[in-house]
Amino acid sequence: MNELTINLKPKSKIPLYEQIYDYIKSDIQKKRIPSGEKLPSTRALSKHLEVSRSTVELAYEQLLSEGYIEAEPYRGYFVAHIDNLYQLNTVKNVERKAPEKTREQCRYDFTPNGVDLKSFPYNTWRKLSKDILLDDKVELFRLGDSQGEYGLRAAICAYLHQARGVNCLPEQILVGAGSDYMMMLLGTILENGWRIAVENPTYKRAYRLFENLSYDVLAVDMDRSGMDVGKLRESGADVAFVMPSHQYPLGIVMPIRRRLELLNWANESETRFIIEDDYDSEFRYKGKPIPALKGYDANEKVVYIGTFSKSIAPAIRMSYMVLPKPLMERFETRSKFIHSTVSKVDQIILQRFVEEGYYERHLNKTRALYKSRHDVLLNSLKVFQDWGTVSGENAGVHLLLHLDNGMTEEELIEAAENADVRVYGLSEYYIAKREKKHIPTVLLGYANMSEEKIEKAVEILWNVWCAGKER
């Protein structure tokens, strides 16, 4: 081949060498230039195309580096033998479209997973970060303990003893990035053949996590006190996943009798354990804080999972797990090699935040803030008292409105969204279908909504759900 007919575009934003490279590569892929074919010399092609020789050399060098052509000393450039190896399909230019929006953002969003980020202690966090990084400490950037830094684990122990009635040792605590990660790590510790029971309805991500880890996961119905222990016993489960301090999504606070029944169930077999997800126990608005289920665990049967994501900020990604001693031994032999997924620097910042009293002060501030919003929401919902009831209002950052106004749950959600208000249906949290017909129910979270927005949003909901209807 003595020449190549290439229509170069000197005014294009694409460099000339790249245009030559693209043309030759495309012809090789489409087999217009067969394998073994000799290409024009750089001197001949540059003269033919009326470009500098260095431009052609750049194009050939790129083709050489990608393996489309080969250079033979004193002979020139030849197309590489890539036939019959793989069918190269050129990618056509496709018009790029903006991603479709699944759901438009609403002006008022009662998300049950909200956190008030305006109350985040930025100045304190900034000060602690600066103090910790002020000195050139090489140790800060070494790989830390696989369970998490000992100082942070000791601080968590002290907090759990004081606030949750849990007695444990730092050696029993594992620190990781988020509760989902802690449950995945726990999945490597539990026996593969064990069956895990979850509450129905429940936190579905936990259900999916255990299911994806190939555990046999089953749903156990609840009564007014929490997971039905009789049905749990009938299920043949080895592990029960529960949220006794504020069940998600129903908001049930498990009474002491049911807690003791669960512990008795676990004590019936050496291979039975309870996973306690204490995700938002810091927020309680009626009576004294209820000790964690782990606080009653005299026989090392409860795995306790806690998090700072709800109480500080989701992006902190800091959770922890207290393992009973039998499972701690399994961790040592099975999962000790898995390193903590949280930055060592972030762990030390949080350690100082807890030890120096900043965490307790922050909790007191956010409790007061959420209590005010909780009270405003409850007062605003009185307008629905002839149409429904409220439940789950004594703890956490969301409650449930059960509304019997002739509309289905889907219709309630759609009517609210059309009016720029987002609410969340209870049905989506059920794993197994409910046998009995239930009153349509929506979850209303209030953590990241101001009092004024709460009042306005409830007024809108009244107008689209009940105004003009006769009871």
Coil, helix or strand at residue 71:
strand
Provide the terminal-to-terminal Cα distance of the chain, rounded to the nearest Å. 90
- Digit-coded pLDDT (tens) for 127-179: 999 988 887 677 777 777 889 999 999 999 999 999 999 999 999 999 999 88
Residue 302 token pair = 């409860």
Among 138, 153, 123, 160, smallest CA distance to 348 is for 153
Three-state DSSP state, 276: strand
**CB-CB contact of 113 with 444 (8 Å):** no
What residue has token string 């070494």?
142
> What pLDDT, on a 0 to 100 scale, did the predictor assign at position 102?
44
Contacts of 151 (CB under 8 A, 6+ apart): 348, 351
- Distance between CA atoms of residues 311 and 283, nearest Å: 9
Please tell me the distance from the alpha carbon of residue 205 to that of residue 202, in angstroms, as a whole number: 9
At 41, the amino acid letter reads S
Q: Which of 80-84, 187-191, 334-338, 346-350 has the lowest mean pLDDT?
A: 80-84
* Encoded tokens for 85: 């190896």
Q: Tell me which amino acid residue 459 is.
A: E
Q: What single-letter DSSP state applies at residue 316?
A: G
Determine contact, residues 292/276, Cβ cutoff 8 Å: yes
The rounded distance, in Å, linking the Cα atoms of 313 and 119 is 10
Adjacent-strand bridge partners of 289: none
pLDDT tens-place string over residues 187-229: 999 988 899 999 999 999 999 999 998 899 999 999 999 999 9
- The C-alpha angle with vertex 407 and arms to 404 and 408, in degrees rounded to 5, equals 100
Q: What is the dihedral of CA 234, 237, 241, 243, to 10 degrees?
A: 20
Which residues sit opposite 108 in a β-bridge? 421
pLDDT tens per residue across span 375-405: 999 999 999 999 999 998 888 899 999 999 9
442 in Cβ contact with 412 (< 8 Å): yes
Q: At what angle do helices 204-212 and 179-189 cross, to 10 degrees?
A: 40
Mean pLDDT, residues 116-130? 90
What pLDDT, on a 0 to 100 scale, did the predictor assign at position 307? 92
d(CA 68, CA 350): 55
Token pair for residue 249? Answer: 């999504």
C-alpha 344/C-alpha 378 separation (Å) is 42
Q: DSSP H helical segments within 236-324, as ranges?
A: 256-267
> Is the pLDDT assigned to residue 85 strictly greater than 70?
no
Give the pLDDT of residue 291: 85
Angle (nearest 5°) at CA 147 between 142 and 149: 50
What confidence score (pLDDT) does residue 98 get? 45
Which two tokens mark 304? 């306790």
Under the banding of pLDDT at 50, 70 and 90, the label for residue 436 is low
Which residue segments constitute the domains of the chain, with CATH numbers given? 1-96 (1.10.10.10), 108-114+364-465 (3.90.1150.10), 121-356 (3.40.640.10)
Residue bearing the bigger pLDDT, 208 or 1: 208
User: Which tokens sit at 233?
Assistant: 């016993």
Distance CA 200, CA 407 (A): 24
Percent with pLDDT over 90 in the chain = 63
What are the DSSP E strand ranges found in 103-250?
108-109, 173-176, 195-200, 216-223, 226-227, 239-242
Model-level pTM?
0.77
Place of tokens 């995700």: 279
Cα dihedral 424, 182, 235, 434 in deg (nearest 10)? 0
Dig out the tokens for 268 from the structure: 């019936």
Q: Which of 404, 402, 406, 459 is nearest to 425 (CA)?
A: 402
